[in-house]
Amino acid sequence: MDRNGVTEGELEGRGMNKCVEQVSHLALDIGGSLIKMVYFCGENSGSEHQQGILSSKESCGLSNGNTNCSVLRGKLHFRKFETSKINECLEFMSSKQFHRNGEDCHGASVSEKNIIKATGGGAFKFADLFKEKLGMTLDKVDEMNSLVAGANFLLKAASLEAYTYMDGQKEYVQIDQNDLYPYLLVNIGSGVSMIKVDGDGKFERVSGTSVGGGTFWGLGKLLTKCKSFDELLGLSYSGNNRVIDMLVGDIYGGMDYSKIGLSSTAIASSFGKAVSEDKDLEEYKPEDVARSLLRMISNNIGQIAYLNALRFGLKRIFFGGFFIRGHAYTMDTISVGVNFWSNGEAKAMFLRHEGFLGALGAFMSHRKDGFADLKAHHLVEQVPTKPSRNAGGCLNNSSVLKDVNENISIECTMQLSN
């Protein structure tokens, strides 16, 4: 949905969104668990070689007055693939003919067409595979640089990107571009990186933890026998962590430990009840195990993030990475943790394109050798599918886990230096 509440389907119905795909720029973030892809698709304005290209005059009105430029109008699209199924990514790229479309739109040379920006460890690990299967060279871009560039772009250029989430309430945050820095960026991927960001290209990785999204998925898989991440996340919706976690009330006979500010429902020890109960793993419901695990990891990350914010006097913490998946329970746990430990001083904020920061940053690095500027105009949300329920009335996993950020493309103009 765009800012005016218009879905892409409605736009299409009004004939306002006749985007015949003409993919030009593309970037990848090949991580330990997932491959994230961002690509720009120019609108087809009709003339054969000028798809989506506005006239120089028009373009220069939109940009910085440089007359030696043209502007492409189109959308940034987002896709993800599991790294273990990299062939699906290669097939997708091949089907979209990314390797052929290349950078046709603005007359790049044939050799440039076969180079794509890529970040993440997989840009090194799979370089030969991309060369062999698609004839493409991966132009490697630094991972931390990309994360920060992606976050800065979204926070400055895209409206309705950042939001807070607490007690089931989502609230969008208007970011003042002149008052963005410094902030703490917490990227929760397979592992977790915490980066203090002071400006464009000005940052320091101040902390991190190996207990992250990979831990949740890996341990969860072993403990619940889930076959997919979505299944595990889906289970956590209906679980109850009090079955396995040892609460303050379990120790204090149902009472709060008010002297030090701990309520009876606070978790004293994650999974602690399993010690005193004479039960095997099979006797616990996978839902409860998934819930305790999600809570343990989210709590821990929220707390380390808060401590780092405190360490550097940062009031705003933005959380990104695909672990979050716009999952209400994860965000709630992180927000409550940050709010509790900071006495309401620091704020946890989330990003709609949470998982695509690195890929977006790699995309922005085209700036150095192709386009001069990228301006975001609208977020365009694909028509959401209606959540379905199973016979017991519970939301089906696939419904509750719609890929929020993958479904939101960004309308933008790209200024190309000729």
Which of 113, 327 has the CB closer to ligand ADP? 327
Which residue from 153, 169, 267 is spatially nearest to 201, judged by alpha carbons?
Answer: 153
Find how far residue 326's CA is from the centre of its chain. Answer: 9
How many C-beta atoms lie closer than 10 Å to residue 205's C-beta? 15
Judged by CB under 6 A, the stretch of 37-45, 101-109, 200-208, 210-218 that binds ligand ADP is: 210-218
Q: Is 214 in the site for ligand ADP (CB under 6 A)?
A: yes
Nearer to ligand ADP, 9 or 121 (CB): 121
Closer Cβ to ligand ADP, 105 or 154, answer by number: 154
Based on CB atoms, which residue is closest to ligand ADP, 326 or 337?
Answer: 326
Buried b (16+ CB within 10 A) or exposed e, 371-407: bbbbebbbbbbeeeeeeeeeeeeeeebebbbebbbbb
Nearer to ligand ADP, 250 or 403 (CB): 403
Q: Which stretch binds ligand ADP (CB under 6 A): 89-97, 211-219, 252-260, 335-343?
A: 211-219
Number of CB atoms found within 10 A of residue 32's CB: 16
Query: 309 to 328, contacts with ligand ADP by CB under 6 A?
Result: 321-323, 325
Distance CA 248, CA 255 (A): 8
Q: Point out which span in 25-33, 270-278, 333-341, 410-418 binds ligand ADP (CB under 6 A).
A: 25-33
> Which range touches ligand ADP (CB under 6 A), out of 27-35, 58-66, 333-341, 410-418?
27-35
Residue placing its CB nearer to ligand ADP in the complex, 53 or 301: 301
Q: Which of 152, 355, 372, 381 binds ligand ADP (CB under 6 A)?
A: 355
Select 302 or 321, whichever has its Cβ closest to ligand ADP: 321
How many residues contact ligand ADP, by CB under 6 A? 19
Q: Decide if residue 32 touches ligand ADP (CB under 6 A).
A: yes
Q: Is 229 in the site for ligand ADP (CB under 6 A)?
A: yes
Residue with Cβ nearer ligand ADP (303 or 398): 398
- Min. distance of Cβ 325 from ligand ADP in angstroms? 5
Question: Does 33 contact ligand ADP by CB under 6 A?
Answer: yes
The type of residue at 370 is: G
> For ligand ADP, which residue of 23, 34, 195, 374 counts as binding (CB under 6 A)?
34
Residue nearest to ligand ADP (CB): 31
Helices 286-312 & 328-341 angle (0-180, nearest 10): 40
Using CB under 6 A as the criterion, which residues of the chain lie in contact with ligand ADP when the complex forms? Answer: 31-34, 82, 120, 189-190, 213-214, 216-217, 229-230, 321-323, 325, 355
